[in-house]
A and B are shown apart, each in its own frame.
Chain A
Amino acid sequence: MRTTETDPQGTPSEVAERIRLSATSDRPYQFLLRGTALFFGAVIILFVWSVVSTAWPSIHTYSYHILTGRSWVSGTGPYGALPLITDTVLTTLIALLIAVPVGLASALALLYLIPRKFRATGTALIELLAAAPSVVYGLWGLWYLIPWLTKTLQPFLAGLTGSSWPFSGPHEGFSVLLAGLVLSIMILPTIVAISRDVIAVVPADLIEGGLSLGATRSQVLLKVVLPSARTGIFGAIALGAGRALGETIAVAMVIGSNPQIPHSLFSTGATLASTIATEFGNATGSAGSALAALALILMIITASVNAGARVLTKRARASV
Chain B
Amino acid sequence: MSTTLTELPPDPILERRQEIQKRAAQTIGRRTLLSKIFLTFLVGAFILALVPLGSVLLALLQKGLSSISWAFLHTLPTQPSLVAQNAIGGIGNAIEGSLIIDAIAGLIAIPIAVLLGLYLSESLSRAANFLRAIIEIMTGLPSILLGVFAYEYVVVRLKSFSGLAAIVALAVLMVPVIAKASELAFRGVPATLREAGLALGARSSRVSRGVILPAAMPGVITGVLLSLARAMGETAPLLLVIGASNTWNWNPLHQMAALPLMTYNYSGSQYPSQRAAAWGVALTLVVMVMILSLGSRLVAARMRRERH
| Residues of chain A whose beta carbon lies under 8 Å from any beta carbon of chain B | 2-3, 12-13, 15-17, 19-20, 22-23, 25-26, 28-30, 32-34, 36-37, 39-41, 43-44, 46-47, 50-51, 53-54, 101-103, 105-106, 108-110, 113-114, 122, 124-129, 131-140, 142-144, 185, 188, 192, 214, 216-219, 221-222, 239, 242-243, 245-249, 253, 273, 276-277, 280-281, 291-292, 295, 298-299, 302-303, 305-307, 309-310
B contact face: mostly helix, strand, loop, or mixed: helix
Q: How far is the CA of A12 from the CA of B205 in the complex (A)?
A: 21
Chain B residue nearest to A132 in the complex (CB): B286
Chain B contacts for A142, CB-based, 8 A? 267
Q: Are A216 and B236 in contact (CB under 8 A)?
A: no
Q: Which 3 residue pairs of A and B lie closest in terms of their CB atoms, listed nearest first?
A: A133-B233, A246-B142, A105-B45
Minimum CB–CB distance from B109 to chain A (whole Å) comes to 10
Q: Are B46 and A110 in contact (CB under 8 A)?
A: yes
Q: How far is the CA of A30 from the CA of B232 in the complex (A)?
A: 33
B153 on the A face (CB < 8 A): yes
Q: Are B119 and A36 in contact (CB under 8 A)?
A: yes
**Contact of B46 (CB < 8 Å), options: A36, A39, A105, A131:** A105
Q: How far is the CA of A298 from the CA of B263 in the complex (A)?
A: 25
Q: How far is the CA of A46 from the CA of B145 in the complex (A)?
A: 12
Chain A contacts for B122, CB-based, 8 A? 16, 20, 33
Q: Decide yes or no: A54 and B46 within 8 Å by CB, A134-B235, A137-B56 being known contacts.
A: no
Taking A25-B203, A131-B289, A310-B136 as known contacts, 8 extra A-B pairs with beta carbons closer than 8 A to each other, sorted by chain A number, are A51-B149, A106-B45, A109-B46, A110-B46, A114-B46, A136-B233, A216-B31, A218-B34
B210 on the A face (CB < 8 A): no
| Residues of chain B whose beta carbon lies under 8 Å from any beta carbon of chain A | 24, 28, 31-32, 34-35, 38-39, 41-46, 48-50, 52-53, 55-56, 59-60, 63, 112, 115-116, 118-120, 122-124, 127-128, 131, 133-134, 136-138, 140-149, 151-153, 172, 175, 179, 188, 190-191, 194-195, 198, 203-205, 208, 229, 232-236, 239-240, 260, 263-264, 267-268, 278-279, 282, 285-286, 289-290, 293, 297
Q: Are A113 and B56 in contact (CB under 8 A)?
A: no
Q: Are B49 and A303 in contact (CB under 8 A)?
A: no
Q: How far is the CA of A211 from the CA of B172 in the complex (A)?
A: 50
Q: How far is the CA of A43 from the CA of B172 in the complex (A)?
A: 8
Minimum CB–CB distance from B219 to chain A (whole Å) comes to 13
Q: Are A273 and B148 in contact (CB under 8 A)?
A: no
Chain A contacts for B120, CB-based, 8 A? 37
Chain B contacts for A33, CB-based, 8 A? 115, 118-119, 122-123
Chain A residue nearest to B276 in the complex (CB): A143
Q: Decide yes or no: A242 and B140 within 8 Å by CB, A36-B119, A135-B282, A139-B263 being known contacts.
A: yes
Q: Are B204 and A29 in contact (CB under 8 A)?
A: yes
Chain B contacts for A217, CB-based, 8 A? 35, 39
Q: Are B141 and A303 in contact (CB under 8 A)?
A: yes
Q: Are A51 and B119 in contact (CB under 8 A)?
A: no
**Contact of B205 (CB < 8 Å), options: A26, A47, A219, A280:** A26
**Contact of B234 (CB < 8 Å), options: A23, A133, A253:** A133
Chain A contacts for B236, CB-based, 8 A? 248-249, 273, 277
Q: How far is the CA of A246 from the CA of B137 in the complex (A)?
A: 13
Q: Are B59 and A143 in contact (CB under 8 A)?
A: yes
Q: Are B188 and A2 in contact (CB under 8 A)?
A: yes
Q: Decide yes or no: A247 and B142 within 8 Å by CB, A135-B282, A292-B148 being known contacts.
A: yes
Q: Are A144 and B293 in contact (CB under 8 A)?
A: no
Q: How far is the CA of A310 from the CA of B176 in the complex (A)?
A: 15
Q: Decide yes or no: A109 and B264 within 8 Å by CB, A37-B119, A133-B234, A140-B59 being known contacts.
A: no
- 8 residue pairs of the A-B complex, CB under 8 angstroms, read A19-B194, A22-B198, A33-B119, A40-B112, A51-B148, A54-B152, A246-B141, A248-B142
Q: Are B43 and A109 in contact (CB under 8 A)?
A: yes
Q: How far is the CA of A245 from the CA of B140 in the complex (A)?
A: 10
Q: Are A306 and B137 in contact (CB under 8 A)?
A: yes
Q: Are B141 and A302 in contact (CB under 8 A)?
A: yes
Chain A contacts for B282, CB-based, 8 A? 135-136, 139
Minimum CB–CB distance from B213 to chain A (whole Å) comes to 13
Q: How far is the CA of A39 from the CA of B171 in the complex (A)?
A: 14
Chain B contacts for A303, CB-based, 8 A? 137, 140-141
Chain B residue nearest to A298 in the complex (CB): B142
Q: How far is the CA of A259 from the CA of B204 in the complex (A)?
A: 56
Chain B contacts for A137, CB-based, 8 A? 56
Of listed B35, B50, B52, residue having the most chain A CB within 10 A: B52
Q: Decide yes or no: A105 and B59 within 8 Å by CB, A26-B203, A29-B203, A242-B140 being known contacts.
A: no
Chain A contacts for B143, CB-based, 8 A? 246, 248
Q: Are B45 and A102 in contact (CB under 8 A)?
A: yes
Q: How far is the CA of A60 from the CA of B131 in the complex (A)?
A: 31
**Contact of B145 (CB < 8 Å), options: A25, A41, A299, A310:** A299
Q: How far is the CA of A51 from the CA of B53 in the complex (A)?
A: 36
Q: Are A131 and B32 in contact (CB under 8 A)?
A: no
Minimum CB–CB distance from B30 to chain A (whole Å) comes to 10
Q: Are B235 and A133 in contact (CB under 8 A)?
A: yes
Chain B residue nearest to A247 in the complex (CB): B142
Q: Are B42 and A113 in contact (CB under 8 A)?
A: yes
Chain B contacts for A305, CB-based, 8 A? 140
Minimum CB–CB distance from B46 to chain A (whole Å) comes to 4
Q: Are A34 and B119 in contact (CB under 8 A)?
A: yes
